[in-house]
Structure 1
Amino acid sequence: MSHRRVEACDSWRPPRSARAGPPLLFRAGPRVPAFASLSVRETGEAAAAAAVAEAVEAAAQRAAAGAGARGEEEGTTTTTKKKSAQRRLPPAAQLLRHPLALLALVPNSAALFAAGAGAGAAAKTVTAPLDRTHSVRVAGESAKKGVGFLEAIADIGKEEGLKGYWKGNLPQVIRIIPYSAVQLFSYEVYKKIFRRKDGELSVFGRLAAGACAGMTSTLVTYPLDVLRLRLAVQSGHSTMSQVALNMLREEGLASFYGGLGPSLIGIAPYIAVNFCVFDLMKKSVPEKYKNRPETSLATALLSATFATLTCYPLDTVRRQMQMKGTPYNSIFDAISGIVEHDGLVGLYRGFVPNALKNLPNSSIKLTAFDTVKTLMATGQKELDKLIQENEEKTN
């Protein structure tokens, strides 16, 4: 009995249409399955069976690979469309019904800078009566006439009426806006810089961020601070521009930066301690109380009090070195001179009125800024919710 020998050869051939064109496998429309073409010639029966099995298996693998590639391409397209839908903003009419969502459309940096400026202006306006009362008491001391706190408040109301408590507030607000904006905005920036690789911010990182923020804002606005102090204590000048011209003509440009060293050394630890303690205390508050304004206000008041007690002596030295004709050439000269003349109590001279004036200001400023940050986060959640709802309706 003779045995026939067959050999098999397979080839991958997707079906073609009657007309010339690309294979249907790669056309849009219904999916057309591919097939394997098999040609056989005489050879051994065992070899033929093995060849047939190998050809069928190879064709199946190629078909599966082609289907997988098409599925992957379709999945990528679907993902891209989904991301595009997530980025699609709600219509203007819908955004107008949700004002907080509109806040999320403002660039984060611009929103933080504006929040810092607004927080400083609000704090200065709210505490303007305290500033005005402090100024009246300083004027009374200069005239060798002791004026008590309550007496000063009563005198202002009697002589100038209610608006007298806010006399001179506009120049103060104009001065504080750039200082507060730079300080609070740069603190958020420095926190990102000092963040660890795991995304957490250590206590040292918070202290460093606060110190850098305080020094940055002081460098930017220091000449205005010197002018304000000169205008408050010197007589014979009615405007800030006159004081500035006289300083430039008589003392040179360096007079605008007199006492800058002590100011940097004084403000750096104060802002570092104040902001760091505020953040850490807010972080330890239970979640249900964390976003309440009264919680921020209480936390800010405690942190500002602690920072003021710690750093007030450096502020005393700064004021002494800013005065015209100061006998002190360095920080150490000023500290030793004050202690020798007035004792350790001299480093805390004027602490109570300063605390009454500055603690509410610092507390309100941090509270206002923290409240705006909370509104920004709420607005972002509101915007994400609107986008998700619109996407679900579309699907």
Structure 2
Amino acid sequence: MASTAAAGPGAALPPGAAHRDFYWLRSFIAGGVAGCCAKTTTAPLDRVKILLQAHNHHYKHLGVFSTLCAVPRKEGYLGLYKGNGAMMIRIFPYGAIQFMAFDQYKKVIKKQLGISGHVHRLMAGSMAGRWFSWVLQRADANYCRNGAICSTLNFLLGFSFFTFGTLKSIGLAQAPNLLGRPSLDNPDVLVLKTHVNLLCGGIAGAIAQTISYPLDVTRRRMQLGAVLPDSEKCLTMVQTLKYVYQQHGIRRGLYRGLSLNYIRCIPSQAVAFTTYELMKQFLHLN
């Protein structure tokens, strides 16, 4: 304490001390910005989906791609982003919690349990997803009926973070000069180049979506509840999975609509991971 006072306010801080200040807050901001950028990337598709679902009289006779072209002609290009500002208010804390929780769990698992490598990334991703889905469940208990959405988020987040982290570590280990470059905030740390980040993030999103999609299908059928004539056969997640598979099979049942989800998920995840990696450098988190 005395040495600090003697040094005076103008004295240099110990190495790394400034970077440790408000680390959790900077990590929270980085995750929030990443989530907002990812959501903004797919905002036009979300806007079109809402217009078609609501049977808007201007666009109800059109398809997805026709509506994408028609909205700018009628409302201007900003029409594709109508409502996106309000969406950012909701998405920012969600994205922040996802990424911050993942980073913190990863550190705790490595330090306290001595587990590293692929396993600790998968564990950290699943734990972050569990915490995030708990927050969502508190916000809307009916939306998380029978825990189906919680399971979906756990799988999606766990495999998404796991896949991206694994691709990143393998890429930097096997081809550091080709795929990596020094971090802007710490030249001793190698990070992936931006285009490689985008590729790895897209692959991570595609794999996570493929694994978790049957659960997402199950969740949506359970949400419809009594609206469906066969609702008594879809009371639990396991029952619903079996019923969908028996009635429609894998491609037309459990994975129906997956290609459209890829269109939204792959660019969204690519932008999310890439933005987070860049924000980590700008906010001195490496």
Match of 1:348 in 2: 255
Q: In 2, Cα distance between the equivalents of 1:280 and 1:319?
A: 30
DSSP-derived class of the 1:201 partner: coil
Match of 2:184 in 1: none
- DSSP 3-state at the match of 1:214: helix
Partner of 1:312: 213
2:101 is matched with which residue?
186
Equivalent residue number for residue 129 of structure 2:
214
User: How does 1:193-272 map onto structure 2 within 5 Å?
Assistant: 193-195=108-110, 201-222=116-137, 254-259=141-146, 261-272=147-158
Q: Which residue of 1 aligns with 2:188?
A: none
Please point out which of 89, 96, 107 is paired with 2:22: 107
Structure 2 counterpart of 1:329, from 235, 250, 257: 235
Residue by residue over 1:8-51, the C-alpha shift from the partner in whole angstroms, topping out at 9 and shown as x without a partner, is xxxxxxxxxxxxxxxxxxxxxxxxxxxxxxxxxxxxxxxxxxxx
Question: How many residues of Structure 1 are paired with residues of Structure 2 in the alignment?
Answer: 260
> Are 1:294 and 2:200 counterparts?
no
Aligned match of 2:39:
124
Letter in 1 for 2:198: L
Measure how far apart 1:152 and its partner are.
1.5
- Matches of 2:27 and 2:245, distance apart in 1: 42
Question: Match for residue 186 of structure 2?
Answer: none
RMSD of aligned C-alpha atoms? 3.3
Structure 1 residues 258, 374: CA separation in 2 closer, same or farther (over 3 Å shift)?
same
Larger Rg: 1
8 Å CA contact 1:115, 1:181 repeated in 2: yes
Cα deviation, residue 183, structure 1: 0.9
Q: SS of the counterpart of 1:315?
A: helix
Alignment of 1:1-395 (within 5 A): 90=12, 104=19, 106-139=21-54, 147-195=62-110, 201-222=116-137, 254-259=141-146, 261-285=147-171, 286-288=175-177, 289-290=179-180, 291=191, 292-325=193-226, 327=231, 328-344=234-250, 345-377=252-284
Aligned residue for 1:125, secondary structure, equals: helix
- Post-superposition offset of 1:128: 1.1
Residue identity matched to 2:145: G
Deviations 1:275-326 (A, max 9, x none): 1110111112233433322221111011111111121111111122223536
SS in 2 for 1:258: helix
Tell me if structure 1 keeps the 8 A contact 2:164–2:204: yes
For structure 1, which runs of at least 5 residues remain unmatched after alignment?
Answer: 1-79, 92-100, 227-253, 381-395
Q: How much has 1:136 moved relative to structure 2?
A: 3.3
Query: Contact 1:223–1:256 at 8 Å: present in 2 too?
Result: no
Deviation at 1:196, TM superposition (A): 5.7
CA distance in 1 between counterparts of 2:248 and 2:53 reads: 19
Q: How far, CA to CA, are the matches of 1:257 and 1:123 in structure 2?
A: 23
How many Å separate the matches in 1 of 2:46 and 2:138?
A: 20
What is the distance in 1 between the residues matched to 2:161 and 2:144? Answer: 25
* TM-score with structure 1 setting the length: 0.58
Residues 134 and 357 of structure 1 are in contact (CA less than 8 Å); yes or no, is this contact kept in structure 2?
no
Residues 345-389 of structure 1 deviation map (CA, whole Å, 9 limit, x = unaligned): 211122122221122112211111111123344x87xxxxxxxxx
Over 3 Å counting, the alpha-carbon distance change for 1:129 and 1:256 in structure 2 is closer
Change (3 A) 1:332 1:146: farther
Contact 2:213 2:255 in 1 (8 A): yes
Q: What CA deviation, in whole Å up to 9, does each residue of 1:218-263 have, x standing for no partner?
A: 1112465x6xxxxxxxxxxxxxxxxxxxxxxxxxxx535424x111
Shift in CA distance, 200/219, structure 1 to aligned 2, threshold 3 Å = closer
Q: State the identity as a percent.
A: 26
Change (3 A) 1:359 1:283: same
1:111 deviates by 0.7
Aligned-partner Cα distance in 1 for 2:20–2:127: 29
Contact 1:278 1:299 in 2 (8 A): yes
Measured in 2, the distance between the counterparts of 1:166 and 1:198 equals: 45
Q: Which amino acid aligns with 1:287?
A: P
Partner Cα separation in structure 1 for residue 93 and residue 278 of structure 2: 19
Structure 2: gaps (5+ residues) = 181-190
CA distance in structure 2 between the partners assigned to 1:191 and 1:364 by the alignment: 22
Question: Does the C-alpha gap of structure 1 residues 277 and 176 become closer, same or farther in structure 2, counting only changes over 3 Å?
Answer: same
Deviation per CA, 1:100-122: give whole Å up to 9, x if none.
x9983642111101111111112
TM-score scaled by length of structure 2: 0.78
